[in-house]
Amino acid sequence: LKMRIDIITVLPELLRSPFEASIMKRAIDKGLVEVHFHNLRDYTLNKQKSVDDYQFGGGAGMVMMIQPIDDCIAKLKSERDYDEVIYMTPDGETLNQQMANRMSSFENIIILCGHYKGVDQRVRDQFITKEISIGDYVLSGGELGAIVLSDALIRLIPGVLSDETSALTDSFQDNLLAPPVYTRPAEYKGWKVPDVLLSGHAAKIDKWREDMAYEHTKNRRPDLLE
């Protein structure tokens, strides 16, 4: 099973490089995911290729027009069915691991990146099935959010991560933060790795990691334990 992500943007050049490195690149190379960028300007019908216009009622900031977005989404939908048409926006549902886990089994998704004051409300009413924020702060556009969402989903696709990079021990799986990790040397400038990790006692090590994950979560993110 392969995932396909279609990202609609006015800034495709902002999107490329994160997909050309590390785990996302490997997932694409392995054929486990396809990511396609669609430049909204290619769908404009006016000579200036503008994608935005002044807002009705007045006020600062431009609004992205419905026509290029409609035509782009219509073209994609004529080629395949989509599980969700997602709009990245600070007033969307805040992304978390549970949402990523659920969405990682989708086959086809569209991610629309907003800019300026956002898109004409009719785009949201007519085409968007899910609105996602990556946190309570405002970015200059939805592109960075689309990268964050794509990364969170792609690493969960079966076959993308190896045993060594398994998602099962990540923070937020089981609503716990990850325990601390150490590597060689066992002592550096007098700073020691906890003895239990060097003990070779698998059950004790598991117990220590569980205890540390719980302690760490209680200290930093008590809200996760509620």
Contact with ligand ADE (CB under 6 A): which of 12, 18, 68, 145?
A: 145
**C-beta of 88: minimal distance to ligand ADE in Å?**
4
User: Does residue 9 touch ligand ADE according to CB under 6 A?
Assistant: no
Report whether 136 belongs to an annotated binding site: yes
82-111 in b/e form (b: 16+ CB < 10 A) is: bbebbbbbbebeebebebbeebbebebbbb
Report whether 76 belongs to an annotated binding site: no
Extract long-range pairs of 29-32: CB within 8 Å, 24+ residues apart.
Answer: 30/159, 30/160, 31/2, 32/2, 32/3, 32/154, 32/157, 32/159, 32/160
Contact with ligand ADE (CB under 6 A): which of 90, 103, 153, 156?
A: 90
Binding residues for ligand ADE restricted to 94-133, rule: CB under 6 A:
114, 133
**C-beta of 142: minimal distance to ligand ADE in Å?**
4
The residue among 68 and 145 lying less far from ligand ADE, judged by its C-beta, is 145
Contact with ligand ADE (CB under 6 A): which of 81, 137, 158, 202?
A: 137
Report whether 141 belongs to an annotated binding site: no
The residue among 88 and 152 lying less far from ligand ADE, judged by its C-beta, is 88
Q: Name the burial class of residue 145, with classes exposed (0-12), middle (13-18) and buried (19+) by CB atoms within 10 angstroms of its CB.
A: buried
Binding residues for ligand ADE restricted to 16-75, rule: CB under 6 A:
none
Q: Which residues fall in the annotated binding site for S-adenosyl-L-methionine?
A: 114, 134-139
| Contacting positions for ligand ADE (CB under 6 A) | 88-90, 114, 133-135, 137-139, 142, 145
